[in-house]
């Protein structure tokens, strides 16, 4: 049987995709809008998508579709419940960014704890050139050694971040975020982590239960000297509350690689900030050359496994 594969947003993956080892046709599109989805997948048996949404209305019009292969770890762009009802399998990518995302996290932390952007801006304004001594101390500098890292999310990326944090001499605490969950020796309550940590790093999926996991109440619980890092999903944090927290000094800083809506064509309160203690990067923590190629290879592995009858990395 010939499988018909369609990649809806090929431009989101800058890596080589090998040809699947089974009989197939292949079509790809740089990007796909919602109103183009059904027409492009009309004959598809396998859809590949990174960020192009597949919702119930579209799925109802695609009776031939058997598999949605998500070219990412997060799969909230797919209506999983509708897929389950229609017998459509969904698979995702796992453990491909175990080095690149933690490294990006540490880069953000170091830049913020050492106030690199503030000092760079001072030099560009001529502050150093006007000094009477060899240096100046306009912004506080904090070491990572001896400080506490709070991690929300204990998967591969959370564990990879923890390993780097420990290498810097940090004390690591994993937060328990599931209400009523059985006690686990390696987890402490979220409220305790928020109160104790000098750095909070988010590494959990975006679900109805985790949306706005960090809001005004949680930001108020953090130390005024703490920083918040989010390389996971923008919706985990109430972004308006974070903008207020940074502007009013509830916390010392934040480093984000994600926003609730991407690209942020309708604006976002975090885009309005012009603060040296806030760093925003355009969802590139995952995107090292090596990581993208590992993702591309696993994407085809997932599809080949499904066609062989031994599916892997299924989410439904």
Per-residue confidence (pLDDT) for residue 106, from 0 to 100: 98
Summary mean pLDDT of the chain: 96
Residue 182 has pLDDT above 90, yes or no: no
- Domain 3-96+290-308 in CATH 3.40.50.720? The answer is yes
Per-residue confidence (pLDDT) for residue 48, from 0 to 100: 98
Return the exposure string of 145-183: e unless at least 16 CB atoms fall within 10 Å of the residue's CB, then b: eebbbbbbbbebbbbbbbebbeeeebebbbbbbeeeeee
What average pLDDT does this structure show over 97-114? 97
Domain 3-96+290-308 and domain 100-280, same fold? Reply is yes
Determine the length of the chain. Answer: 316
What distance in Å separates the CA atoms of residue 306 and residue 90, rounded to the nearest whole number? 10
β-pairing verdict for 148-152 and 187-189: unpaired
Per-residue confidence (pLDDT) for residue 74, from 0 to 100: 87
Residue 43 has pLDDT above 90, yes or no: yes
Q: How many CA atoms lie within 13 A of 191 on its CB side?
A: 2
Residue 192, class by beta-carbon neighbours within 10 Å (0-12 exposed, 13-18 middle, 19+ buried)?
Answer: middle
Residue 32 has pLDDT above 90, yes or no: yes
What distance in Å separates the CA atoms of residue 5 and residue 68, rounded to the nearest whole number? 10
What confidence category does residue 181 fall into, taking pLDDT thresholds of 50, 70 and 90? confident
What distance in Å separates the CA atoms of residue 21 and residue 210, rounded to the nearest whole number? 39
Q: Write the pLDDT tens digit of every residue in 277-312.
A: 999 999 999 999 999 999 999 999 999 999 999 999
What distance in Å separates the CA atoms of residue 110 and residue 117, rounded to the nearest whole number? 11
Per-residue confidence (pLDDT) for residue 178, from 0 to 100: 84
DSSP one-letter string for 228-284: EEE-S-GGGB-HHHHHHHHHHTSSSEEEES--SSSS-TT--GGGG---TTEEE--S-
CB atoms within 10 A of CB 121: 13
Which residues form the catalytic set?
Answer: 233, 262, 283
Q: What is the 3-state secondary structure (H, E, C) of 14-64?
A: CCCCCCCCCCEEEEECCCCCHHHHHHHHCCCCEEEECCCCECHHHHCCCCC
What confidence category does residue 99 fall into, taking pLDDT thresholds of 50, 70 and 90? very high
Per-residue confidence (pLDDT) for residue 179, from 0 to 100: 74
Per-residue confidence (pLDDT) for residue 264, from 0 to 100: 95
Per-residue confidence (pLDDT) for residue 122, from 0 to 100: 96
What confidence category does residue 209 fall into, taking pLDDT thresholds of 50, 70 and 90? very high
Fold observed for domain 100-280: Rossmann fold (3.40.50)
Domain limits of the chain? 3-96+290-308, 100-280
């Amino acid at each position: 049987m010939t499988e018909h594969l369609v990649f809806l947003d090929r431009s989101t993956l800058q890596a080589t995709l090998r040809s699947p080892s089974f009989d197939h046709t292949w079509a790809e599109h740089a990007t796909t809008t919602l109103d183009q989805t059904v027409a492009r997948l009309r004959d598809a048996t396998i859809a590949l998508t990174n960020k192009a949404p597949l919702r119930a209305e579209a799925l109802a019009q695609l009776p031939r579709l058997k598999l949605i292969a998500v070219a990412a770890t997060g799969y909230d762009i797919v209506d999983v419940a509708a897929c389950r009802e229609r017998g459509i399998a969904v698979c995702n990518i796992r453990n491909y960014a175990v080095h690149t995302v933690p490294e990006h996290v540490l880069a953000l932390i170091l830049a913020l704890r050492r106030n690199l952007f503030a000092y760079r801006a001072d030099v560009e304004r001529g502050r150093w050139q006007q000094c009477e001594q060899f240096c100046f101390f306009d912004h506080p500098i904090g070491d990572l050694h001896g400080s506490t890292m709070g991690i929300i999310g204990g998967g591969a990326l959370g564990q990879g971040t923890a390993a780097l944090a420990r290498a810097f001499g940090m004390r690591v605490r994993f937060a328990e975020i599931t209400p009523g969950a059985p006690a686990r020796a390696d987890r402490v309550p979220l409220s305790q982590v928020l109160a104790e940590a000098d750095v909070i790093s988010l590494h959990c999926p975006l679900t109805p239960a985790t949306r706005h996991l960090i809001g005004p109440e949680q930001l108020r619980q953090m130390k005024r000297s703490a920083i918040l890092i989010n390389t996971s999903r923008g919706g985990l944090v109430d972004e308006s509350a974070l903008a207020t927290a940074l502007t009013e000094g509830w916390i010392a800083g934040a480093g984000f690689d994600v926003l609730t809506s991407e690209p942020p064509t309708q604006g976002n309160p975090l885009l309005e900030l012009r603060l040296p203690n806030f760093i925003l990067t355009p969802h590139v923590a995952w995107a090292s050359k090596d990581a993208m190629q590992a993702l591309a290879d696993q994407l085809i592995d997932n599809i080949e496994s499904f066609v062989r009858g031994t599916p892997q990395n299924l989410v439904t």
